[in-house]
Amino acid sequence: MAPEEFERVVNDAIDRIPEEFAALLNNVAILIEPDAPPGSPPGLIGLYNGIPLTEREANPSALPDLIFIYRNPTLALCSTKEEVAEQVYVTVVHEVGHFFGIEDDELRKLGWG
C-alpha cells in the first residue's frame, strides 16, 4: 500500500472516532511514520506520547500530545486493504484511549488492541 493510500486509511479511521470523543481531542496531533523508532518493541504499530487527560493540569501553552501510527509494521500484520483499515482504526482508537487515560489492559478488555 502506497504511503498516500495509507494516509487516507488513517484519515478515515480518525473520521470514524465518535464525535463526543473527537470533540475532546484538543491539542493532539496524529502523525504517520514509516517505522517505529529504533529500540521500540517488535511489531509496535502505534504510540501515544503525551500527558493523559486524567493526569494533566490546565496549560494552554503545552506542546501537543502526539499519536504515531507506524505504516510498515501495520502493513506487515495485514493481508488485505480491509484488514489494514480495521487494524488502523483499532490502533487509532487504542492510542486515543491512552489520551483519555485508559491503560493497555483495559483497552484490551474493551476490544481495542
Domains defined along the chain, listed by start? 3-109 (3.30.2010.20)
Q: At what angle do helices 81-99 and 3-15 cross, to 10 degrees?
A: 50
The pLDDT value given to residue 65: 93
Q: How far is CA 83 from CA 26, 86, 99, in A?
A: 29, 5, 24
Question: Full-prediction pTM beyond 0.75?
Answer: yes
Query: Is the model more confident about 69 or about 108?
Result: 69
Whether 111 has a pLDDT exceeding 80, the answer reads no
Whether 16 has a pLDDT exceeding 70, the answer reads yes
Helical spans, DSSP H, in 39-80:
71-77
